[in-house]
């Protein structure tokens, strides 16, 4: 179980359900999701299953699908589907058993949703690039945003550390052929 706070601290764990609730209450979606991603990749990484255990829509998709279509309902539904797809993707990627609720096929958009918040319509080439780069759990649900949505500093730092360590193991001549690399700033 995820601790909800340590005595003397006010930190509240940002589960995916809490992130969605913040989005539904008109918080910036990327701020709410970023807080969840920090939990997933760092703060609560040992409790990942608990971060996605609770369905983002208490009562399931029927809660929104049964409501008359309005721009607000469509906004909430899009983000609910994104959350279900993100949970499925992250669980598969990180070896966590996905919660049952993410397998509900109703968590699928009727129309493709490209690159959320784009200020201008995307070109056919940009749409095709997003379609190719989007992880399958999102693409199957008609969310086409590429794979950079899940890029994170925690893995980036680990990747740089691995590259620097690998470079240090190379013989001197091989290092010289590589030239300057990220990490140590040297050129051997």
For every one of its 188 residues, what pLDDT tens digit does the chain have, with 9 covering 90 and above? 555 555 566 678 999 999 999 999 999 999 999 999 999 999 998 999 999 999 999 989 999 999 999 999 999 999 999 999 999 999 999 999 999 999 999 999 999 998 666 667 888 998 899 899 999 999 999 999 888 888 877 776 766 777 777 778 877 655 555 555 444 444 44
Can you give the pTM of this predicted structure? 0.78
Whole-number Å distance between alpha carbons of 38 and 42: 6
Give whole-number Cα distances, 183 to 17, 124, 135, in Å.
38, 38, 29
DSSP state of 123: P
In a 3-state reduction of DSSP, which class is residue 143?
A: strand
Give whole-number Cα distances, 137 to 14, 82, 124, in Å.
22, 9, 22
């Amino acid at each position: 179980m995820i601790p909800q706070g340590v005595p003397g601290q006010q930190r509240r764990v940002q589960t995916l359900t809490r992130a969605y609730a913040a989005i539904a209450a008109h918080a910036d979606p990327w701020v709410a999701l970023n807080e969840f991603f920090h939990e997933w990749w760092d703060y609560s990484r040992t409790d990942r299953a608990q971060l996605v255990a609770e369905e983002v829509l208490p009562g399931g998709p029927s809660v929104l699908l049964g409501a008359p279509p309005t721009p607000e309902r469509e906004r909430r539904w899009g983000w609910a589907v994104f959350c279900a797809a993100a949970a499925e993707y992250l669980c598969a990627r990180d070896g966590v058993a996905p919660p049952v609720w993410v397998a509900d096929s109703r968590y699928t958009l009727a129309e493709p949703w490209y690159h959320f918040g784009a200020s201008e319509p995307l070109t056919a080439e940009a749409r095709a690039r997003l379609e190719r780069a989007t992880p399958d759990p999102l693409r199957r649900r008609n969310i086409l945003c590429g794979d950079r949505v899940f890029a994170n500093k925690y893995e980036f730092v680990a990747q740089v550390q691995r590259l620097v360590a690998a470079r240090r193991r190379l013989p001197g001549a091989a290092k010289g052929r590589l030239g300057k690399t990220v990490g140590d700033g040297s050129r051997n």
